[in-house]
């Protein structure tokens, strides 16, 4: 799998019934039923987190050229990636309309109309929409797409810089919680100046490590300061009656979340889904013979009902196919638990259950304790999958004080931590010399630290990370 992650990934998307990327527009794919369910459960998790403090809204897909062009740095960052609508039927439009690459320029003119007083603040909205980016880098299903079909974007407005800074920290915590539910490990770093979101004061990014040793940016939180408020005239009357520009943050996740669930947890047999987002927690495979079929199916139904009453998602696979083929199919689809039950099991009052993550098979008694035993197994799977993934990520960090070692370490699949003076020219020179990307600042170094920058030899301010990135 590591040798050819890309091939493995495409095969899983197909065999796992996740998406079909043969749609005849580059960078755009079709969600298939099983994939759509994983997407649905992932969204439910995120919405539960968002709904505690945010409100959901829905903005139009099209943005007038005039609005998109307003924020100079922002538009510069996206100009090469915008799809334009220029015609309505046969008629040329008076004004070009952009397919949103992200929604700042759609949302903020409306914020300007809605926000009047400090009483209206903070305002915390989110939407789950598709966005379009004409990516020029090599496109890959879910990872780098031109239609981001599941863009989860939050936009907040605040009355003070301090509150806005706090929101950025809270959003980082919210994303941590989200990724923790999925057992997806991450590095959090403050992106270097040259890699921050166009128009932001600074960007905090989540990256994970994919099996091919490349890091993938899986979420970003941007502190926008007052830049957009000044451009879009988002002002409010403060408690003293004076008018001030508001402070803003925004943060986003994409289809990459699903790519990461697949990549981080999968193995050579296929998907390994965390119970939190698996369409079925348990798949029952009845071993059916003519004379005992009804009895076995009746038992399966009873187990299903018992488990469902406890919130466990159960699917009985009674398709007319060999059990071996079904085992294989559910291994590819990554169902966390597979339970087999046939006439002999009924006689012995036993059943066997297999964990997808470890492939371990256990015998369980068919009694009143079955539901509890399965619940406990699901919890264990959740914890084990997460610790395994986090451990792998932690072990992937290597530290060096010698710039010449970076290439070798990254080729071994490592993410490299190094000391940096924090200066832009030094950072850019390090990227140039090594050919890799600086993820950003991982930790600030203590003032008393005597560490020196790996490139300039001057006093280092930060421990930074560098990696081969997607
Ligand atoms: C914003 N505005 O837009 P961001 N394919 C898949 N995933 C992608 C792609 C792509 N082509 N491009 C970006 N992502 C802000 C925040 C509203 C919300 C993913 O931020 O441009 C990346 O994981 O940083 C990225 O972190 C996230 O979307 C948000 O995009």
Indicate whether 389 pLDDT > 80. Answer: yes
Assigned domain for 305 exists: yes
Sole residue written with tokens 């035993």: 373
Assign residue 147 the CATH number of its domain.
3.30.930.10
Give the chain's mean pLDDT.
Answer: 97
Clarify whether residues 204 and 337 are in a common domain. Answer: no
The Cα–Cα gap between 14 and 21 comes to 9
The residue among 265, 293, 317 that closes a domain is 265
The Cα–Cα gap between 337 and 367 comes to 18
The residue among 238, 265, 292 that closes a domain is 265
Indicate whether 314 pLDDT > 80. Answer: yes
**What is the pLDDT, as a whole number, of residue 2?**
61
* CB of residue 147 inside a 6 A radius of ligand 1: no
**What is the pLDDT, as a whole number, of residue 74?**
86
* CB of residue 149 inside a 6 A radius of ligand 1: no
* CB of residue 220 inside a 6 A radius of ligand 1: yes
CA-nearest of 132, 119, 108, 133 to 57 is 108
Among residues of the chain, what percentage have pLDDT more than 70?
Answer: 100
Clarify whether residues 324 and 416 are in a common domain. Answer: no
pLDDT digits (tens, 9 = 90+) for 183-205: 999 999 999 999 999 999 999 99
Clarify whether residues 231 and 368 are in a common domain. Answer: no
Q: Which residues are within 8 A (CB) of 133 and not within 5 positions of it... i.e. 6 or more apart?
A: 78, 81, 82, 101, 145, 146, 148
The Cα–Cα gap between 157 and 154 comes to 10
pLDDT digits (tens, 9 = 90+) for 412-460: 999 999 999 999 999 999 999 999 999 999 999 999 999 999 999 999 9
The Cα–Cα gap between 381 and 311 comes to 16
The residue among 356, 381, 406 that closes a domain is 381
Clarify whether residues 261 and 162 are in a common domain. Answer: yes
Query: Atom 13 (ligand 1): residue with closest C-alpha?
Result: 254
Assigned domain for 389 exists: no
Query: Atom 1 (ligand 1): residue with closest C-alpha?
Result: 252
**What is the pLDDT, as a whole number, of residue 71?**
87
pLDDT digits (tens, 9 = 90+) for 30-54: 999 999 999 999 999 999 999 999 9
Indicate whether 385 pLDDT > 70. Answer: yes
Clarify whether residues 359 and 260 are in a common domain. Answer: no
* CB of residue 27 inside a 6 A radius of ligand 1: no
Sole residue written with tokens 């920058």: 453
State the closest ligand 1 atom to the C-alpha of 154, by its place in the atom list counted from 1: 18
Mean pLDDT of 377-387: 98
- Ligand 1 pocket: which of 141, 256, 263 to mutate (most atoms <8 Å of CB)? 256
What the block records as the tokens of 45 is 């998790």
pLDDT digits (tens, 9 = 90+) for 168-182: 999 999 999 999 999
* CB of residue 223 inside a 6 A radius of ligand 1: no
Supply the range of the domain harboring residue 309. Answer: 282-381
Q: In the structure, what pLDDT confidence band is assigned to residue 3 with cuts at 50, 70 and 90?
A: confident
- Other beta carbons within 10 Å of 450: 8
**Phi-psi sector, 130: left (phi>0), alpha (psi -120 to 50), beta:** beta
Assigned domain for 209 exists: yes
The Cα–Cα gap between 306 and 314 comes to 10
* CB of residue 175 inside a 6 A radius of ligand 1: no
Assigned domain for 107 exists: yes
Among residues of the chain, what percentage have pLDDT more than 90?
Answer: 97
What the block records as the tokens of 76 is 């510069």
Mean pLDDT of 103-109: 98
Query: Under DSSP, is residue 464 helix (H, G, I), strand (E, B) or coil?
Result: strand
Clarify whether residues 155 and 34 are in a common domain. Answer: yes
CA atoms in the 13 A half-sphere facing the CB of 95: 10
What the block records as the tokens of 126 is 């989110």
DSSP string, 63-109: EEHHHHTTSHHHHHHHGGG--EEEEETTEEEEEEEEEPSSSHHHHHH
Mean pLDDT of 366-388: 97
pLDDT digits (tens, 9 = 90+) for 248-306: 999 999 999 999 999 999 999 999 999 999 999 999 999 999 999 999 999 999 999 99
Clarify whether residues 374 and 408 are in a common domain. Answer: no
Clarify whether residues 432 and 403 are in a common domain. Answer: yes
**What is the pLDDT, as a whole number, of residue 236?**
98
Ligand 1 geometric centre to CA of 413 (Å):
25
Give how many domains the chain has, as a whole number: 3
Assign residue 317 the CATH number of its domain.
3.40.50.800
Indicate whether 125 pLDDT > 90. Answer: yes
Q: Which residues are within 8 A (CB) of 67 and not within 5 positions of it... i.e. 6 or more apart?
A: 105, 106, 109
The Cα–Cα gap between 424 and 395 comes to 29
Strand-pair partners of 343: none
**What is the pLDDT, as a whole number, of residue 1?**
65
Assigned domain for 390 exists: no
* CB of residue 250 inside a 6 A radius of ligand 1: yes
């Amino acid at each position: 799998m590591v040798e050819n992650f890309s091939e493995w990934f495409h095969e899983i998307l197909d065999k796992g019934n996740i998406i079909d990327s043969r749609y005849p527009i580059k960078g755009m794919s079709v969600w298939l039923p099983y994939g759509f369910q994983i997407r649905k459960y992932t969204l439910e998790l995120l919405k539960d987190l968002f709904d505690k403090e945010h409100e959901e809204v829905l903005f139009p897909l099209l943005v007038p050229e005039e609005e998109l062009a307003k924020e100079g740095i922002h538009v510069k960052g996206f100009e090469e990636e915008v799809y334009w609508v220029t015609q309505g039927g046969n008629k040329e439009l008076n004004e070009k309309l952009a397919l949103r690459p992200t929604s700042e320029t759609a949302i903020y003119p409306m914020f300007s109309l809605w926000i009047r007083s400090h009483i209206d603040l903070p305002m915390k909205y989110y939407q789950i929409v598709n966005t379009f980016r004409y990516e020029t880098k090599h496109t890959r299903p879910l990872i780098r797409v031109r239609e981001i079909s599941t863009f989860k974007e939050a936009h907040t407005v605040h009355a003070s810089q301090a509150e806005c800074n706090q929101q950025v920290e809270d959003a980082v915590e919210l994303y941590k919680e989200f990724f923790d539910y999925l057992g997806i490990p991450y590095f959090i770093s403050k992106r270097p100046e040259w890699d921050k979101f166009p128009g932001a004061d600074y960007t905090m990014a989540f990256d994970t490590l994919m099996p091919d040793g490349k890091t993938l940016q899986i979420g970003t939180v941007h502190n926008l300061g007052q830049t957009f408020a000044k451009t879009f005239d988002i002002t409010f009357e403060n408690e003293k009656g004076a008018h001030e520009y508001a402070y803003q943050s925004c943060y986003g996740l994409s289809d990459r979340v699903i790519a990461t669930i697949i990549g981080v947890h999968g193995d050579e047999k296929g998907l390994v889904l965390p119970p939190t987002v698996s369409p079925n927690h348990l798949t029952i495979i009845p071993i059916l013979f003519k004379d005992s079929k009804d009895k076995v199916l009746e038992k399966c139904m009873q187990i299903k009902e018992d488990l469902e009453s406890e919130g466990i998602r159960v699917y009985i696979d009674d398709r007319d196919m060999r059990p071996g083929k079904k085992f294989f199919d559910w291994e590819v689809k990554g169902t966390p638990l597979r339970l087999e039950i046939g006439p002999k099991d009924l006689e012995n009052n036993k059943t066997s259950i297999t964990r997808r993550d470890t492939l371990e098979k256990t015998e369980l008694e068919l009694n009143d304790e079955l539901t509890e035993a399965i619940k406990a197994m699901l919890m264990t799977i959740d914890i084990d999958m997460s610790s395994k993934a986090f451990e792998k990520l932690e072990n992937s960090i290597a530290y060096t004080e010698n710039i010449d070692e970076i290439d070798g370490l990254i080729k071994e699949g490592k993410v490299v931590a190094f000391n940096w003076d924090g200066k832009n020219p030094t950072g850019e020179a390090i990227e140039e010399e090594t050919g890799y990307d600086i993820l950003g600042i991982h930790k600030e170094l203590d003032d008393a630290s005597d560490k020196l920058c790996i490139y300039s030899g001057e006093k280092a301010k930060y421990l930074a990370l560098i990696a081969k990135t997607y």
